[in-house]
Structure formats: C-alpha cells, structure tokens
Amino acid sequence: MKRIFFDRLVACIQNSSEAIVRQWIDHLKSDPTTATFAESDLKRFEIRALELLVNLDEWINYDKDKTDVGRRYAQEGIGLFKMGIPLCEGIRGLILLKRTIWLYLMYEMPLDTVIELNELRELNDRMSLFFDRAEYYFMRGFMEEMSRKMQQIWKLSDDDTDKVFFGRSFYKRNQMAA
C-alpha cells in the first residue's frame, strides 16, 4: 500500500532541512546542557545534520543496513571525543535534533484523518528506531576513542581498559557490527 501522507511527511522534512537545522542550531546555542559546543563545532554538526535530513528517506528505511548506521555514528562519536565535547552533550544534541524535527512536523503538517495519524505514527517509529541506533553507535564510538586515548596516555593494556569498559559488554575488540 502506498503511503502518500508518509511520503509527504518525509518530503516536508527533506525540503525544509535548512530551516529545521537552523532551529536545531539555535537550540544548541541556547541550551545550557550543550554549552561546550563551540561555533566551529556547530558548523560541522550543521553540515552533518543537513546531510542526514536531505537523505532521511534512506536512513529511516527498514531495509537500511544497521552497519551503515553503525559506521557513520561511531565515527561521529569518535569525532565528538576528539573535539573535547562531553558525551552527554553529544547525546543531548541528537535528542534536540529529533525533537526539533518532530515539532517542525507538528506545526507544518496538520493531520486531517486517522490514516494520516497512522502514517505519522509509522514515521515516528522509524525515526525513533534510527535515532536509537545512532545514539548507541555514537556512544560506542565515543567510548572506543576514550579507551584508545587512555591506552595512549597512560600506557594501559587492552585488559586494563576492558576493566574500565566492562569486558563482558559490546566492548570486545573488533566487533563493530552489533
């Protein structure tokens, strides 16, 4: 069954990506929980958010390979660590982006029918799944980079950092595809 309203919702996000990202950047600048973001960091995140929104239909597709999301957002987490931004602020940034998208849709795309409500629910489900995966890999990349930095600075072994990063968890070496 063709989801006409669903496609219109996604197109609204894609076509309005610059406005949505501007609102998101304004939130990042004014939110005290993202105070570490420097102006130069915001430009980098603005570019990445625009890339995401313009290609949103691809990212929220149920057939999207999880390893693509994993690679992309683990690299984002590594980049965040290298910029010296706390993990909690990076996660807050993702939460604010998702919220900004949602509020933009609520304002721009009023619902008229139960079918439209159902398609909106489906979009919310797909976006939630995508953002949940992105956050997981984002944190994972951040923590893996933190472990590498700890090993470098304090000359720790893999066993030493496994004690800090819970060796029974995902953090076993060379297992990026969770």
pLDDT digits (tens, 9 = 90+) for 103-130: 999 999 989 999 999 999 999 999 999 9
Rounded to an integer, what is the distance from CA 107 to the centroid of its chain? Answer: 22
State yes or no: pLDDT of 10 exceeds 60.
yes
pLDDT in tens, 37-96: 988 889 999 999 999 999 999 999 888 888 999 999 999 999 999 999 999 999 999 999
Q: Please tell me the predicted confidence (pLDDT) of residue 164.
A: 76
Contacts of 17 (CB under 8 A, 6+ apart): 49, 50, 53, 54
State yes or no: pLDDT of 165 exceeds 60.
yes
Q: Which domain holds residue 80?
A: 4-142
* Residue 42 placed within a domain: yes
* Residue 166 placed within a domain: no
23 burial (CB, 10 Å; 0-12 / 13-18 / 19+) is middle
Residues 115 and 5 sit within 8 Å (Cβ to Cβ): yes
Q: Please tell me the predicted confidence (pLDDT) of residue 156.
A: 83
* Residue 83 placed within a domain: yes
* Residue 169 placed within a domain: no
* Residue 152 placed within a domain: no
Domain containing residue 115: CATH number? 1.10.490.10
Q: Which candidate, 171, 13, 1, places its Cα nearest to that of 104?
A: 13
* Residue 149 placed within a domain: no
**Domain count along the chain:** 1
d(C-alpha 136, C-alpha 69), whole Å: 10
Q: Please tell me the predicted confidence (pLDDT) of residue 177.
A: 44
State yes or no: pLDDT of 178 exceeds 60.
no
Q: Please tell me the predicted confidence (pLDDT) of residue 17.
A: 97
* Residue 159 placed within a domain: no
* This prediction's pTM: 0.88
* Residue 170 placed within a domain: no
Residues 95 and 103 sit within 8 Å (Cβ to Cβ): no
Q: Please tell me the predicted confidence (pLDDT) of residue 151.
A: 85
Say what percent of the chain tops pLDDT 70.
92
